[in-house]
Structure 1
């Protein structure tokens, strides 16, 4: 089905792993400490952004003086406590399994590199991927193309020969900016 591409790149959260509900729960838990809340729709619009950028948006909406990097660290800590109990692979993992050993594959995620590695390892999927690029591996995040360009570089495939699987508008914009084909998995 995707045989015409030389490299496959997958977003992680909401694309191959059902982590979105846990991300939202972690945000609710941390924000409650500060008598803050953020609606799910606003969070969904920021899917694919690094955690500190989401924290910054929340803080700005409250005109708070909290440090976005500190709030992001608290959210990441809360997420790590919850995630391993609840994370499940999504149906797109079948594509990953079908192309194992046939095409180089990478994960390009807005999550931190260590979190992505740990989750993929936890679910027995880490060995399916030749590379993992997290938010802390690039300077410019989705919708900028850097995450996916780094993935292509690490798997040794020209960007125009890659296809990206994404569930977020920022990620699709990043794939387009990288000159890559994409599949909007929300439509599958």
Structure 2
């Protein structure tokens, strides 16, 4: 059993935990749909969440019956163009785009000498952190290119722990997705879930949204588990 006093560091997922870039992905894919002549609606937008770039493009093409209209090379060009546009959009991020309560939590961790790292599958994580004005809070960011497997494989959180230089039992990982919670647990760390999707994977600690996350609430919840 992990005690609150054992915790020395935190490994953060990025999207859905610190900020939300889903609207930028949606805006970029909407633009692609318009380009290829597929009608955009909320059902299509929802179906793309958590799906890889090329699979998302295929879904957009199929939705408009355009799956046979483009060569593989043309599809790759469309996907690259979408990503380039997305990268332009995330450059507009500011500290105001940090999710409710998370800046206060980061400040609290920094003031109490906790170590922090980022375990995000996004290759754009450094750009996002810079836009939010919080890259200096973190010892490091796991490089997705160094990973052999994605979440729920524990590798990304194992590497996030290595960046912290801590043992698994000294780390709390924060996630909003079920696959991420499984990744944290597989790495032997304490899993803190935020939101309903994370709850389905039975995290060790759970908060309804980011505004509830604080050291005091984490301490209280761990104490209840211990009791």
Asked if these proteins are the same fold (TM beyond 0.5), I'd say yes
The alpha-carbon distance between structure 1 residues 40 and 134, as it changes in their structure 2 partners (threshold 3 A), is farther
Q: Could you state the TM-score of these two structures normalised by the residue count of structure 1? A: 0.80
What's the CA shift string for 1:140-166, capped at 9, x where partnerless?
A: 111211111111011111223211111
Q: Tell me which residue corresponds to 2:202.
A: none
Within the alignment, does 1:39 sit opposite 2:50 as a pair? no
Asked if the contact 1:11–1:107 (Cα under 8 Å) also holds between the matched residues in 2, the reply is yes
Partner-residue secondary structure (3-state), 1:13: coil
* Inter-partner Cα distance in structure 2 for 1:145 and 1:9: 12
1:132 is displaced (CA, Å) by: 0.5
The gaps in structure 2 that reach 5 residues or longer are 196-207, 210-227
Asked if the contact 1:149–1:178 (Cα under 8 Å) also holds between the matched residues in 2, the reply is yes
Within the alignment, does 1:73 sit opposite 2:80 as a pair? yes
Q: Could you state the TM-score of these two structures normalised by the residue count of structure 2? A: 0.68
Q: When the two structures are aligned, how many residues end up with a matched partner?
A: 180
Partner-residue secondary structure (3-state), 2:99: coil
Q: Tell me which residue corresponds to 1:118.
A: 127
* Inter-partner Cα distance in structure 2 for 1:83 and 1:29: 15
The gaps in structure 1 that reach 5 residues or longer are none
Asked if the contact 1:55–1:71 (Cα under 8 Å) also holds between the matched residues in 2, the reply is no
Within the alignment, does 1:162 sit opposite 2:171 as a pair? yes
Q: Tell me which residue corresponds to 2:92.
A: 85
User: If you compute each CA radius of gyration, which structure gives the higher value, 1 or 2?
Assistant: 2
Partner-residue secondary structure (3-state), 1:171: helix
- If asked which structure has higher relative contact order (CA below 8 Å, sep 6+), I would say 1
Within the alignment, does 1:142 sit opposite 2:151 as a pair? yes
RMSD: 2.7
Asked if the contact 2:154–2:184 (Cα under 8 Å) also holds between the matched residues in 1, the reply is yes
Q: Tell me which residue corresponds to 1:16.
A: 18
